[in-house]
Amino acid sequence: MFSYRVIDSQLTTDLHHQQIEIRLNDTSAIPDGEQKRTPAHCVITPTYLDAADRIRNLTVYEDDVWIVTFPKAGTTWTQEMVWLIDHDLDYAMASKVNLLERSVFLELSWVILGCPVDTVQQVEELPRPRHIKTHLPLAFLPSQLWTVKPRIVYCARNPKDVAVSYMHHYHHLHGFTGPKEVFLDGLLTDQVLWCPQVKHALDFWNIRQLDHVLFLHFEEMKKVGIALVLNSINTIWFREFTAKQVRLKMFDFKPLEFDESDSLGCPGAPTFVEVQLKESPEETKPCVLPAKFVDYADRIRNFQVYEDDVWIVTFPKCGTTWTQEMVWLIDHDLDYDTAKQVNLNARSVFFELGAVGHNIPVDTVTTVENMPRPRHIKSHLPLPLLPQQLWTVKPRIVYVSRNPKDVAVSYLHHYQMIMGFRGSKDTFLRQLAADKVMYCPQVQHVLEFWRVRAEPNVLFLSYERMKHDLRSVVAQKILRQTMSR
């Protein structure tokens, strides 16, 4: 059914030691589309050969939903939106069940070494209606797609943006350590996995008029988000969603837009979105967070809070660690021995780290749920995105502010050392002032807690005051304890 040849590539890594160029020999079952085309070949790993026939002959059902993209073309975003639309905007279920289980990556285990699951079998055993993700070019998809005619959603993206994103993906997830030029040359000469890039999109563009195919553009989705998909979906779903249904979601999520010349793109930085509660006042600005936060927002907002919790909340680089350590010691009778033996990250857990951190394998929301009480919890989230039970259960909350100028300098160094930012100081400061940096807007973050400082369970501290007179700060009764010298 297939023919292949081994290709010599500088882009092999520990995840894929060798690459092949594979072609479908008989393309007669593929629809012609607008023009008669020779469908693209595929650059893939040799292990794929063991599953190629299984995938090509996979049983397809009419109620399947297939999400097809070239890598880094908006796949995850499309998967999530399409799944929600096909499940009556069931945000509660989406927040509980990982997207990887709701929309399975068909060929993953036959491309990447070390994957412990047979993902083709996983797709075969999915309950219907199945949502299936794939990066395979048109010719390598199941032949029954064109006879059974399930719903197929293809998302394309500007090839230049794909190239940059895919390069970072290769560095961070595939372990590629070569220079930028080698990767980009490999992409242009079809040596990167799932290439050829442009033909991948053109094959689906050619059949976009088929009744069961929806062809989307990442750039259009950025402009109007889920509204574009909702307006387009009738062509293959034959259903409508009312404005009331769409409003049922708790949050607004909008891709963060950068002036290209001032972009904060860096190896350690994921794709960002602007997040906001639906019922936020009009003057409230959204918070800048990584796109993966979308999958955690409802869980965090509905998180169970206990009265004996202690929450340390700050904008980044405002004395968070100092405050965490000090507050933990006060609440544990100055137990310096335990403080030395147990890492602060285990004693005072960073609540949303798993929801915002790049390549963080731990679900820190679950970690906090399972902590022994009294729990000490650190967060950089702004007030509206924190658990709503904070204001009914009323645990102790310590908020620390700091001179914005000092925060700016410290946060710049953080972006350079932790996130790999290599731009200029001026670029970073402009973006911080424009609220384009993670956890921004900075000033609004502080003002929201300043307005609730009179609440009996809230202690509003300043970094500068702590430096000047620490004793009077720690003696305040928010912790229901005082210290004598």
Please name which of 233, 155, 242 lies closest in space to residue 200, comparing C-alpha atoms. 155
**Rounded Cα–Cα distance for residues 204 and 31 (Å):** 10
CA distances from 4 to 8, 20, 33, 49 (A): 13, 6, 26, 9
**Rounded Cα–Cα distance for residues 200 and 175 (Å):** 24
Exposure of 420 in the CB half-sphere (CA atoms within 13 A): 10
CA distances from 377 to 367, 370, 373, 412 (A): 10, 12, 11, 25
200 is catalytic: no
- Provide the 10 A C-beta neighbour count for residue 85: 18
**Radius of gyration from C-alpha coordinates of the chain:** 25
Instruction: Tell me the two tokens of residue 122.
Output: 């996983």
**Rounded Cα–Cα distance for residues 137 and 77 (Å):** 19
> What residues pair up with 401 in beta bridges, in sequence order?
462
Q: What is the 3-state secondary structure (H, E, C) of 190-255?
A: CCCCCCCHHHHHHHHHCCCCCCCEEEEEHHHHHHHCHHHHHHHCHHHHCCCCCHHHHHCCCEEEEE
- Residue 289 in contact with residue 356, Cβ under 8 Å? yes
Among candidate residues 380, 414, 445, 468, the one labeled active-site is: 380
CA distances from 268 to 3, 15, 170 (A): 39, 20, 13
User: 183: which residues sit within 8 A by CB, 6+ positions away?
Assistant: 11, 166, 167, 170, 176, 192
- Residue 93 in contact with residue 41, Cβ under 8 Å? no
Instruction: Tell me the two tokens of residue 410.
Output: 């410290």
**Rounded Cα–Cα distance for residues 197 and 194 (Å):** 7
Secondary structure element (H or E) that encloses residue 344, with its range = helix 344-347
User: 327: which residues sit within 8 A by CB, 6+ positions away?
Assistant: 310, 312, 348, 376, 398, 479
- Residue 17 in contact with residue 114, Cβ under 8 Å? no
- What is the SS3 assignment for 362? coil
**Rounded Cα–Cα distance for residues 386 and 379 (Å):** 8
What positions carry a catalytic annotation?
380
